[in-house]
Amino acid sequence: MWRAAEPSDLGWIEALLFAHIEGSMFLIGNLRTHGFTSSHPNGLTLWAREGRDGVFGITNAGSVLMMAPGSTPEDWHAAGQLLCGRDVTAVLGNAAQVRGFLAANGLQDHPRQLDSDDPGFVLDMADLQVEVRAGEDIIPLGDAPRALVEEWRTAYEIEALNMAPEAARKKAAKDIATFIANDSHRVLLAEGQPVAMSGYNTAFDEAVQVGGVYTPPALRGKGYARRVVGRHMAQVRARGARQAVLFAASAAAARAYTAVGFCPAGTFALVLFSKPAQIRAASVEGRT
């Protein structure tokens, strides 16, 4: 029911992923950037369903990604069999599919750093609502105070991803350097003071996946997140992107994004294991 995907499959695979873009951005981005044989940590080993109605894969770093609507527990069990002996560090994608994969392969109780199901949203750039207020401006991340945005990113890693403070500080410094190099993030200024940050963590010509949106707790409830995301997406739209995808971590965040023009679209699950999991051949052989 699963076979190794080949470059000749890319056309139908992309069509499937774009039809379910709310759960497929990481897959699309990894395929666009790294193809089928990259040794990069985000490079994929990818399998496809014979009926051309599903794909799943694992990155070199151990993240399992999938888009296979309608797959059964037997399908997910067979997928897990292909990963026997591989370290699995994370599973992410459409929530129902992620939960099906975990249950079919006995991973429900493996220790986790993070386990979240977040509502997904999709924006047609034609529907973007941008609010510009007097006294506010938007600047590239590299033009903002470096220590401040590293502090924000550290707080984000702790709050959103449950990272330990020291690990979050180290990762934040690397993340901010990468964001600046990629020109992927923007900071909103109010009366000259930084108040919120927006970014994207996956991008290609047609679409971006918004991520890393952050407002310090003392400044929340003032609409800063809504306005920085709206103005940032206007810049992204000007470069040609037609869609944006994101996942809301709270009801307040969801209200901010719908105000910008995002519409609800499914649920996205992100499961990060606190130590790598493995699917053993013995557990697979016990099923029919």
The reported pLDDT for the residue numbered 283 is 41
pLDDT band of 120, cuts 50, 70, 90: very high
The pLDDT confidence band at residue 97, using thresholds 50, 70 and 90, is very high
pLDDT at position 161: 85
Q: In what order do the strands lie in the sheet with 263-277?
A: 2-4, 44-49, 55-59, 63-67, 88-94, 263-277, 112-124, 243-247, 207-210, 193-203, 185-190, 136-140
Q: Which of 30-34, 64-68, 87-91, 140-144 has the lowest mean pLDDT?
A: 30-34
Q: Would the pLDDT of 286 be above 50?
A: no
Cα separations in angstroms, 186 against 7, 20, 137, 155, 216: 35, 27, 10, 17, 15
205-221: pLDDT as tens digits: 899 999 999 999 999 99
Tell how strand 55-59 and strand 44-49 pair up.
Answer: antiparallel
Contacts of 255 (CB under 8 A, 6+ apart): none
Burial of 192 (0-12, 13-18, 19+ CB in 10 A): exposed
The H-assigned helical ranges of 82-142 are 95-104
The answer for 276, left when phi > 0, alpha when psi is -120 to 50, beta otherwise, is beta
In the predicted model, what is the mean pLDDT of residues 54-77? 96
> Domain 129-260 classified CATH 3.40.630.30?
yes
Question: pLDDT per residue over 130-185, tens digit each?
Answer: 999 999 999 999 999 999 999 999 999 999 888 999 999 999 999 999 999 999 99
* Sequence ranges of the domains in the chain: 2-118+270-285, 129-260
Distance CA 8, CA 48 (A): 12
Whole-angstrom Cα distance, residue 168 to residue 172? 6
Mean pLDDT of the residues in the chain = 93
Structure confidence at residue 22 (pLDDT): 92
Q: Could you tell me the pTM of the whole model? A: 0.83
CA distance 163 to 149: 17
- Residue 36: predicted pLDDT: 86
Bridge-based pairing state of the strands 88-94 and 112-124: unpaired
Q: What are phi and psi of 43, to 5 degrees?
A: -65, 145
Q: What percent of the chain has pLDDT over 70?
A: 98
Q: From CA 246, how far away is CA 25, in angstroms rounded?
A: 10
